């Protein structure tokens, strides 16, 4: 069985050293031969500085500059450096989304409704864009890894770390601080992913070599998740929820968004038929999917459309990340048909089970807090019910949160059957979770009742979370 190594394309390298971040900072600008493209990107954001506005601020302002860009197809065909290919993919996907979605943005400014998007991408953009997408083996649309988030940061102070306040975007749409804070916080959270990937790989290795207890490794995984959740809560400060619509329209995808794009987008001189790819979304991030596979939450996913969507989204990731997920799933199932939980029970590793419970609780916090993001940043701002990834927004709670709660119940039952751990911290996680599980269930039941009520409102969800002590903004 593979020991989970070598998941790299030269840009990402899923490992204990790099986690899910690029192996070094992405290129900020394109090489000089693509200067005309770079210049349009630099002048594109709605706001350039306090008194200066870019092409996207004016109706149709992006059209002429886009059409004037040279067709760089033959230059792109010759590129081999993965860092240049990544910067090209990021550049073309930003330009494609800006050009196509600009009319929807202008309509939104007029009446608060997303208007129809353009649906023909001109050949001078479509051809090199699709070529570079092909070289990276990804869909020709703005994604999370190579384009909008993980491959789009630059440090403000070189000596500083990847704290969201010390990084900014290489390419942007709105140009305002709320867009920067929103997506750079995703990078910030991922700076801890090296520890997380490390503990996942080490746990599998230890169990494969016959270790009877992996409590110490799971403790590290748990504390890293806690750290990530602390950083995640910074969202409320990094990006004001009232300003989410300043940039949200530009990260919409085509699939699932027929109201904007109809049948899809025509990539001129590339494909005959229109194409519909999914939009960039945090659902393409790797932390929670990895933790779901590792902890065994995937065994509790219900069989429905949203589960299918999560699996479909695996394809919207670099091949090296997809390969890592596949091998991870196989490794967990090879350890035990019931994954980590099954193996810990077989080993009677009660300390390990207590930390697994702690990890699940952090996944729960991530999702319940995240649901509060969705309430404020999206639901309180717009009646448009499709997420940027192209899914119906209100359906996310039952799918994910219930799966976590169900597994927590099973882990509690397993610990109860085996007996207490001899470690104080492990036991306190267990005691705390026994007390809080009914609260979590009460909260999810209440939130489900709200979803099924036609008067569903973000304020009601917030009030309920407050009542149960889970207000994420605190």
Residue closer to ligand HEM by CB (options 318, 390) is 390
CA distances (Å), origin 313, targets 39, 170, 286: 32, 25, 11
Q: How far is the CB of 186 from ligand HEM (least distance, A)?
A: 5
Q: Is 167 in contact with 187 (CB distance < 8 Å)?
A: yes
The reply to whether 123 sits near ligand HEM by the rule CB under 6 A is no
**52 class by beta-carbon count within 10 Å (0-12 exposed, 13-18 middle, 19+ buried):** exposed
Q: Which is nearer to ligand HEM, 168 or 205 (CB)?
A: 168
> Torsions phi, psi of 160, nearest 5?
-85, 180
Select the span of 79-87, 218-226, 297-305, 386-394 touching ligand HEM (CB under 6 A).
386-394
Shortest Å distance, C-beta 457 to ligand HEM: 16
Q: 8-18 burial string, b = 16+ CB within 10 Å, else e? A: bbebbbbbbeb
CB under 6 A: which stretch of 20-28, 123-131, 136-144, 370-378 binds ligand HEM? 370-378
Query: From residue 128, how far is each of 72, 171, 268 by CA, in Å?
Result: 6, 18, 11
Binder to ligand HEM among 373, 384, 430, 470 (CB under 6 A)? 373
List 25, 48, 75, 374, residue binding ligand HEM (CB under 6 A): 374
- Minimum gap (Å) between residue 164 Cβ and ligand HEM: 10
Q: How far apart are CA 165 and CA 194, in angstroms?
A: 20
* Total length of the chain: 474
Q: Which of 290, 320, 317, 314 is nearest to 8 (CA)?
A: 320
Q: Which is nearer to ligand HEM, 170 or 288 (CB)?
A: 288
Question: Closest CB to ligand HEM among 301 and 468?
Answer: 301
Distance CA 430, CA 329 (A): 26
Q: Does residue 295 contact residue 407 with C-beta atoms inside 8 Å?
A: yes
The reply to whether 189 sits near ligand HEM by the rule CB under 6 A is: yes
Within residues 387-416, the interface with ligand HEM by CB under 6 A covers 387-391, 393, 396, 400
Q: Is 191 in the site for ligand HEM (CB under 6 A)?
A: no
Give kind and range of the element (H or E) at residue 89.
Answer: helix 82-111
Phi and psi for 289 in degrees, rounded to 5?
-55, -40
One residue of 377, 384, 430, 470 binding ligand HEM per CB under 6 A: 377
Region near ligand HEM per CB under 6 A, out of 84-92, 127-135, 197-205, 385-393 = 385-393
Distance in Å, CB of 440 to ligand HEM, minimum: 15
* Residue 229 or 421 having the CB closest to ligand HEM: 229
Q: Does 283 sit near ligand HEM (CB under 6 A)?
A: yes
Task: Provide the minimum distance between the beta carbon of 216 and ligand HEM in the complex, in angstroms, as a whole number.
Answer: 26
Could you tell me the sign of the dihedral formed by the alpha carbons of 226, 228, 231, 232, in that order? negative
Q: How far is the CB of 263 from ligand HEM (least distance, A)?
A: 20
Which residues, 6+ apart, have CB-to-CB distance to 434 below 8 Å? 412
Integer Cα distance of 75 and 150 in angstroms = 25
DSSP state of 390: S
Q: Tell which one of 87, 121, 288, 345 touches ligand HEM (CB under 6 A).
A: 288
Per the CB < 8 A criterion, the answer to whether 188 and 216 are in contact is: no
121 phi, psi to nearest 5 deg: -95, 120
- The Cα-based distances of 422 to 215, 223, 244, 428 in angstroms read 11, 19, 48, 11
Minimum CB separation of residue 208 from ligand HEM in Å reads: 27
Q: What character string, x for contact with ligand HEM (CB under 6 A) and - otherwise, covers 207-226? A: --------------------
Nearest CA among 147, 174, 171 for reference residue 243: 174
Nearest approach, Cβ of residue 194 and ligand HEM (Å)? 15
- Please name the residues in contact with 263: beta carbons below 8 A apart, sequence gap of 6 or more: 119, 274, 276
Helical ranges in 112-166 per DSSP H? 123-136
Show the binding pattern over residues 323-362: x = contacts ligand HEM (CB under 6 A), - = does not: ----------------------------------------
- What number of chain residues touch ligand HEM (CB under 6 A)? 25
Q: How far is the CB of 282 from ligand HEM (least distance, A)?
A: 3
Taking the complex as a whole, how short is the minimal distance between the CB of residue 52 and ligand HEM, in angstroms?
A: 27
- Tell me how far, at minimum, the Cβ of 357 lies from ligand HEM, in Å: 19
| Interface positions with ligand HEM (CB under 6 A) | 185-186, 189, 232, 235, 281-283, 285, 287-288, 367, 370, 373-374, 377-378, 387-391, 393, 396, 400
């Amino acid at each position: 069985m593979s020991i989970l190594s070598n998941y790299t394309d030269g840009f990402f390298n899923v490992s204990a050293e790099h986690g899910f971040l690029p192996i070094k900072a992405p290129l900020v600008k394109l090489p000089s031969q693509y200067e005309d493209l770079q210049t349009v990107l630099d002048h594109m954001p709605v706001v350039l500085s306090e008194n200066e506005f870019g092409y996207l601020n004016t109706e149709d302002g992006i059209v002429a500059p886009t059409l004037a860009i040279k067709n760089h197809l033959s230059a792109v065909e010759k590129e081999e450096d993965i860092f240049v290919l990544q910067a090209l993919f990021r550049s073309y996907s930003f330009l494609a989304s800006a050009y196509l979605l600009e009319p929807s943005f202008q309509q939104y400014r007029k009446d608060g409704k997303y208007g129809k998007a353009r649906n023909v991408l001109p050949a001078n953009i479509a051809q090199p864009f699709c070529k570079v997408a092909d070289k990276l083996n990804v869909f020709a649309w703005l994604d999370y890894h190579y384009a909008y988030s993980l491959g789009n940061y630059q440090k403000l102070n070189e000596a500083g770390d990847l704290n969201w306040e010390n990084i900014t975007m290489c390419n942007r749409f709105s140009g305002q601080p709320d867009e920067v804070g929103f997506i750079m916080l995703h990078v910030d959270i991922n700076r801890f992913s090296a520890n997380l990937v490390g503990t996942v790989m080490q746990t599998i290795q230890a169990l494969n070599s016959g270790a009877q207890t992996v409590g110490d490794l799971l403790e590290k995984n748990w504390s890293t998740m806690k750290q990530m959740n602390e950083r995640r809560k910074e969202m409320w400060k990094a990006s004001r929820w009232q300003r989410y619509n300043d940039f949200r329209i530009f990260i919409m995808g085509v699939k699932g968004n027929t109201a904007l794009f109809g049948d899809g987008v025509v990539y001129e001189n590339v494909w005959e038929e229109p194409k519909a790819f999914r939009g960039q979304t945090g659902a393409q991030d790797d932390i929670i999917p990895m933790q779901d596979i590792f902890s065994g939450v995937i065994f509790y996913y219900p069989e429905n459309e949203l589960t299918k969507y999560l699996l479909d989204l695996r394809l919207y990731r670099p091949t090296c990340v997809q390969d890592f997920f596949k091998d991870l799933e196989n490794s967990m199932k090879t350890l035990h048909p019931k994954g980590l939980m099954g193996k810990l029970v077989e080993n009677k590793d009660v300390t390990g089970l207590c930390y697994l419970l702690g990890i699940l609780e952090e996944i729960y916090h991530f999702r319940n807090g995240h649901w509060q993001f969705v309430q404020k940043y999206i639901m309180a701002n717009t009646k448009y019910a499709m997420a940027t990834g192209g899914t119906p927004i209100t359906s996310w709670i039952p799918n994910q949160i219930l799966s976590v709660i169900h597994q927590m119940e099973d882990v509690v039952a397993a610990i109860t059957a085996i007996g207490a751990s001899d470690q104080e911290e492990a036991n306190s996680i267990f005691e705390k979770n026994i007390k809080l599980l009914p609260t979590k269930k009460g909260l999810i039941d209440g939130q489900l009742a709200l979803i099924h009520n036609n008067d569903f409102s973000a304020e009601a969800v917030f009030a309920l979370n407050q009542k149960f002590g889970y207000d994420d903004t605190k």
